[in-house]
Amino acid sequence: MTRPVKRHVEMEALFGADFLPISRKGRTPAPAAAAPVAAKAPAPKKSASSTFPYDWEKDWPSDFQTFRTEVLDCRKCGLCSTRTQVVFGTGPLQTPLMFVGEAPGEDEDRKGEPFVGRAGQLLTTTLKKFGIERSRVYIANILKCRPPGNRDPQEDEIETCTPWLIEQISLIQPQVIVTLGNFATKFVLQTQTGITRMRGSVYPWHGRTVIPTFHPAAILRGGGEKGRQFGELQEDFALIKRTLAEPEPPPPPPPVTSLVELEREEQPAIADDQLELF
Ligand code: URA
């Protein structure tokens, strides 16, 4: 699938048919390849035990399945002895939007899914308010196992666990990554600057965009919907939506060396006796 077609299909899945920043009247027909791909999208399937209503797993390519199995068995750090289970992450692989949180809490550890407690409910309702179904985005964490008593992730745990996240990002290839809170923002953007100063802006990141915002748990601690941070969270979600609607950036120009070669090819050969003139 070409990149524009992949993006078209993903955006339609995320926002429905109205995501396009152009009027439907003047719309040119979707590229021919889009139809069969869209038609292949898995049918919604309710699961009694999961908050995640789509059985995306059955459509995962085998390399992703293998990768997931490896992560679920991970024993690379001490958290494996205190966790109930690894919280791998949830969401479709074909999505333009990925959220990265900090680490599973008690509810997530029990259920095996990220953001299913109170902070998760706030994330889900905020997404909904901006017209995005939670089941259409990918959600993961910096750590895949719960730190005991919900303590902060330790540096060695982050170092050991984050290669899994990097692998996940490179398999999913989201257009926009939203980092929730300090731990995710500092790791992804490799910065020491805190979230209060980082939020509200977009950051280019390996051909993609990172948008940092507050962790929903911090919003809850700061007074929930009555707190100042809640308004800023809404601003950041509006920014996420605007960023997703922006047209695909043009491909990068060719490297300078090949431009020089191009010019050489186009120059007519100069006869030896003419060289005297220069
Ligand atoms: N907080 C996080 O950072 N991640 C979760 O999955 C739940 C709470």
pLDDT in tens, 123-178: 999 999 999 999 999 999 999 999 999 999 999 999 999 999 999 999 999 999 99
Residue 178 pLDDT: 98
18: pLDDT strictly greater than 80: no
What architecture (CATH level 2) is domain 83-275? 3-Layer(aba) Sandwich (3.40)
- Residues 9 and 23: their CA atoms lie apart, in Å, by 17
The pLDDT value given to residue 33:
28
Instruction: Calculate how far, in angstroms, residue 141's C-alpha sits from the geometric centre of ligand 1.
Output: 7
Residue of the nearest CA to atom 3 in ligand 1?
102
Please give the distance, rounded to the nearest whole angstrom, from the Cα atom of residue 184 to the centre of ligand 1. Answer: 11
Cβ atoms 86, 168 nearer than 8 A: no
Distance (Å, whole) CA 31 – CA 187: 38
For the chain, give every domain's residue range: 83-275
Confidence of residue 247 (pLDDT cuts 50, 70, 90): confident
Say how far residue 130 (Cα) sits from the centre of its chain. 16
Cβ of residue 142 lying under 6 Å from some atom of ligand 1: no
Q: How far is Cα 199 from Cα 197, in angstroms, rounded to an integer?
A: 6
Residue 186: which H helix or E strand, with range?
helix 181-189
Query: What backbone torsions phi and psi does residue 75 show, to the nearest 5 degrees?
Result: -135, 35
